[in-house]
Amino acid sequence: MSILEIRDLHATVETPEGTKEILKGVDLTIKAGETHAIMGPNGSGKSTLAYAIAGHPKYEITSGSVTLDGQDVLEMSVDERARAGIFLAMQYPVEVPGVSVSNFLRTAKTAVSGEAPALRTWVKDVRSAMDELKMDPVFAERNVNEGFSGGEKKRHEILQMELLKPSIAILDETDSGLDVDALRVVSEGVNRAKERTDLGIMLITHYTRILNYIKPDFVHVFVNGKVAEQGGPELAERLEAEGYERFLEGAK
Ligand SMILES: Nc1ncnc2c1ncn2[C@@H]1O[C@H](COP(=O)(O)OP(=O)(O)O)[C@@H](O)[C@H]1O
Ligand SMILES: [Mg+2]
C-alpha cells in the first residue's frame, strides 16, 4: 500500500525578475487506490506541484517534505523517483526526435524495473495496451511526440502509465485538448490502471469535464500555490457552478 505525503511544501523558480515563490505551503496525502482531483485556475501552481514531486531541476524546494511510504522523495534523483513508483504525465509532453515510441517504452520499462522485460510478453503487453487505447500499431514506430496531435500525446502518456505500472500517477491536465471520444478512451485507460494496480492518482485539471469519466474520491481547490479548500466530489460540482472567484477573492 503506497502513500504519498506532501507537507508544507514551498518551491521557487528563477525568473528574469528574480526568485519567485510558486508553491506556498502545499499539504496533500494520496493513498493507493484513491483519486484526488486538484482543481485550480491557470497560474495557480498546479504544474509546478507536479514537477516539484517528479524532480524537475528548475524548481527549488525551499521547505517542506514529500515522502513515499516514509522515504524522502526530495532526496531522490528523477530516475530514483520513477523507480520508487512515481509517474508524471506532463501537461506538455516533450518531443524526443530519433527515438521511436517502441524503443522509448522499452527503455523506460527497463530503467524503472531494473531489468529488460521479457521480449515475448512485452510485445504482447504493448500491443494490447495500444489496442485498448485505440492506438494504431504503426504509432509504435513513430518518434516520441514528434508531430503527435494533442490527443495522441495524451494517449501516449497513458500508454506509458499502463506499461510502467507506477504506484502513484500524477496526471497534469491529461484532459486538455481532447475531444469527447479521446477523453473517454484516455479516462478508461486511467480507470483500468486503477483497477488493475490499485494506483493512487493525482488528477490535475482545470475543468470538471474529465470528472464525469474518472470519479474522484477527493477534490482539492488549488489557489495561489496551495490547497485552499478540500472536499468530496460535490466540491467539483460547486466549482462548475460558481467558478474559482470565491477562492481568488480569499487568496488576495
Ligand atoms: N519556469 C518558470 N519560469 C518562470 N515562471 C514560472 C515557471 N514555471 C512556472 N512559472 C510561473 O508560476 C506560476 C504557476 O505556474 P504553473 O505551475 O504552470 O500553474 P498552473 O499549472 O496552475 O497553470 C505562473 O505564474 C507561471 O508563470
Ligand atoms: Mg499547468
pLDDT in tens, 15-36: 999 999 999 999 999 999 999 9
Q: Where are the alpha helices (DSSP H) in 133-232?
A: 150-164, 180-197
Give the residue from 140, 210, 215, 207 showing the smallest Cα distance to 182.
210
CB 30 within 8 A of CB 36: yes
Q: What is the DSSP letter of 217?
A: S
Query: How many domains is the chain built from?
Result: 1
Among protein residues, the one whose CA lies closest to atom 2 of ligand 1: 13
Looking at residue 240, what is its pLDDT?
87
Grid coordinates 526526435 are at which residue? 97
> Tell me, what CATH number does 240's domain have?
3.40.50.300
Q: Is this structure's pTM higher than 0.85?
A: yes
Distance 49 CA to ligand 1 centre (A): 10
Rg (alpha carbons) of the chain, rounded to whole number? 18
CA distances in angstroms from 54 to 65, 68, 76, 82, 169, listed in the order given: 13, 12, 10, 8, 10
Range of the domain at 134: 3-251
| pLDDT at 252 exceeding the cut of 90 | no
CA angle 102, 193, 33 (to 5 degrees): 145
pLDDT in tens, 64-77: 999 999 999 999 99
- Angstrom distance (rounded) from CA 122 to CA 34: 28
- Angstrom distance (rounded) from CA 4 to CA 108: 22
| pLDDT at 129 exceeding the cut of 60 | yes
Among protein residues, the one whose CA lies closest to atom 7 of ligand 1: 13
Distance 155 CA to ligand 2 centre (A): 18
